Structure 1
Amino acid sequence: MKYQIRHRTHYRYTQPLRSAVQTLCLTPRHTDTQHVHHWQLHSPTPLQSQTDAWGNHSHVLALGAGARRLQCEATGLVETLGTPLQADPLGPDPRLYLMPSGLARADEALHRSAQTVVRGADNRRAQALALAAMVAERVLYRPGHTSASTTAAEAWQGRAGVCQDQAHVLVAACRAVGLPARYVSGYFHAPGAPELASHAWAQVCLDPAERCWLGLDVTHGCVVDERHIQIAVGPDYAACAPVRGVRSGGGQEQLTVSVEITLVA
């Protein structure tokens, strides 16, 4: 499938900024599961490109004193191949993703549940699928129930959240049983449901030596398919948020985000 994507981010400030530095993690890369035909970032100031420790393409922009808004736009054409398995030669050794992270750390209750669920599974794929089913049954999709700072343990105890929370819980559960797992940010093509366009899911490493990752989408109850467009990966949301940074001044902040995904015939 080929998709035309337009992702607009607009920050407004009640007072002039003294300075601001933002990292934009909005650029997909070629993988064996998707091809990026073209991609552009538009911003009010020049961008400095870089590849981060997780293998993502990101850009840094800086705003000087006096600005009262920041608007950036990412546009491009991406073709997805619909395979859930991805061989990823970039980034660190997959075994690094066994370590708990700030937002994807299992507490004792989640650890016990994960250990119980995988007892009858005889291989890594079966274990990963069993854990995804466990999370889907326990952590129901419910917008407004959590925030961007909600941890996997909190979402597990609260029994509800959004795609970010479901991905964090699955990542934490996998790590708890010895499966390297990472968080994935991206887009999901859901005609008629624009609120689902910005999306998150998990990847579980089935073979660390071959760097083979299986994509699992708890929210939609499926393995990753042609509807998923991958942007970035990391230990959790904090490592690959679409826009993150620091600022001085500016007063109160208002954020507006819109994502449009169009299927190209």
Structure 2
Amino acid sequence: MKYTIRHETRCHFDSPASFSIRNLRITPREEAGLRIENWRVSTPGRSSCSLDTWGNTTHLLTLTEPHENVRILVTGVVDVPDEAVSHFGQGDSPLAPQIYLASTQLTSVDAALAKFSHQHLKQPPQSIDMVLAMLEVLREELLPMPSGGEALRGAAASFGRGRATLPDQVHVLIAACRAAGLPARFVSGYQLGDASHKRASEYAWADVWLEAEGGWVSVDARRAQLASGRQVRLAVGRDYLDACPMRSIHQGGGHEEVRVSVQAA
């Protein structure tokens, strides 16, 4: 099914910023059956395009003149498989899956999370059914929280407090998998509405490497199920910071307010 996507990001500073840099990961990855028909990233001033370490298309936007507002507009058409493609082997990544066993600050485990992981994932053979069963338990123990304005806490802190934003729910899943010896990576993208609803939203889920399943399997941590067929993959990485749609730094400007709108038809 084809979707026309419009993704607008508006950034506003309290006072003029003298300088800002933005790393944008807002171009879909052509994997899991998804294909791009056309895609355009419009930024104020010129941005340079490249591939990062994880195989994501990135745009680097540098603004050196004083500015209070930044508007980034993405428009394009993608062809998403009618049937969900949650299993897709090695994919297009040149990296060995074992690179995603390395812990980061956001995916480190403490004693409690390590114990939980070993209880639910350590027994071989590790399968997707085992991962999904663990997520069902997490749904009872980890209260979902809205992501807007909430700081990232990471896997161990979120598990310990019993509630988490969507990115941190994914971090808990990734950390538990890595603690059990399963490579896992963060995925950012869009969650699309059904054919009768012209809407979309930024979303996040995980890929887990399972030898018994033939490679990468996409898992929706919030819904405790395989990733659906109405998701568009933008970027992957070790955690949210590697894969989020935008990271920025700036000089001056005071507080920065970011508003995001995503539409799909």
TM-score, normalised by the number of residues in structure 2: 0.90
Bigger shift: residues 172-181 or 83-92: 83-92
Partners of 1:2 and 1:71 in 2: CA distance: 26
1:207 aligns with 2:211: yes
Q: Distance in 2 between matches of 1:213 and 1:12?
A: 38
What is the aligned partner in structure 1 of residue 22 from structure 2? Answer: 22
Q: Distance in 1 between matches of 2:232 and 2:225?
A: 14
Q: 1:120 to 1:94 in 2, by over 3 A?
A: closer
Query: What amino acid does structure 2 have at the position aligned with 1:152?
Result: A
1:150 aligns with 2:153: yes
Q: Judge conservation of contact 2:147–2:166 (CA < 8 Å) in 1.
A: no
SS at 1:48's partner residue? strand
Aligned-pair distance for 1:219?
A: 1.4
Q: Deviations over 1:93-124 (max 9, x none)?
A: 11011111121111110110110112555333
Instruction: For residue 187 of structure 2, give the secondary structure of its aligned residue in structure 1.
Output: strand
Q: Distance in 1 between matches of 2:40 and 2:64?
A: 23
User: Residues 167 and 201 of structure 1 are in contact (CA less than 8 Å); yes or no, is this contact kept in structure 2?
Assistant: yes
Q: Distance in 1 between matches of 2:115 and 2:148?
A: 24
Moved more, 245-254 or 41-50: 245-254
The residue type equivalent to 1:41 in the other structure is: V
**How far did residue 161 of structure 1 move?**
2.0
Count of equivalent residues: 259
Match of 2:58 in 1: 58
Deviations 1:59-111 (A, max 9, x none): 00111222111110111111222210123232421101111112111111011
Give, in whole Å, the separation in 1 of the partners of 2:21 and 2:247: 9
**What letter matches 1:114 in structure 2?**
S
My pick for the range that moved more, 221-230 or 106-115, is: 221-230
Q: Counterpart in 2 of 1:227?
A: 230
- Post-superposition offset of 1:250: 1.3
Aligned to 1:34: 34
The residue that corresponds to 1:135 in the other structure is 138
What is the one-letter code of the residue matched to 1:28? P
C-alpha separation between the residues in 2 aligned to 1:135 and 1:3? 32
Q: Find the counterpart in structure 1 of residue 116 from structure 2.
A: 113
Specify the alignment match of 1:67 in structure 2: 67
Distance 1:167 1:59, change over 3 A: same
* Counterpart contact for 1:16–1:65, Cα < 8 Å: no
Stretches of structure 1 lacking an aligned partner (at least 5 in a row): none
Q: Relative to structure 1, is the Cα distance of residues 238 and 68 closer, same or farther in structure 2, using a 3 angstrom cutoff?
A: same
Letter aligned with residue 46 of structure 1: R
AA in 2 matched with 1:200: A
Give distance in 2, aligned partners of 1:168 and 1:134.
Answer: 16
Q: Structure 2 CA distance, aligned partners of 1:44 and 1:13? A: 15
- Runs of 4+ aligned structure 1 residues displaced above 3 Å come to 190-194
Alpha-carbon distance between aligned partners in 1 of 2:8 and 2:149, rounded to the nearest angstrom:
23
- Assess if the C-alpha contact under 8 Å between 2:146 and 2:166 holds in 1: no
Cα drift, residue 4 of structure 1: 1.6
Do residues 163 (structure 1) and 159 (structure 2) align? no
Q: Contact 1:41 / 1:74 at 8 angstroms: preserved in 2?
A: yes
> Unaligned stretches of 5+ in structure 2?
none
Please give the secondary structure, in 2, of the residue aligned with 1:26.
coil
| Root-mean-square deviation over aligned CA pairs | 2.2
Give the TM-score, by structure 1 length: 0.90
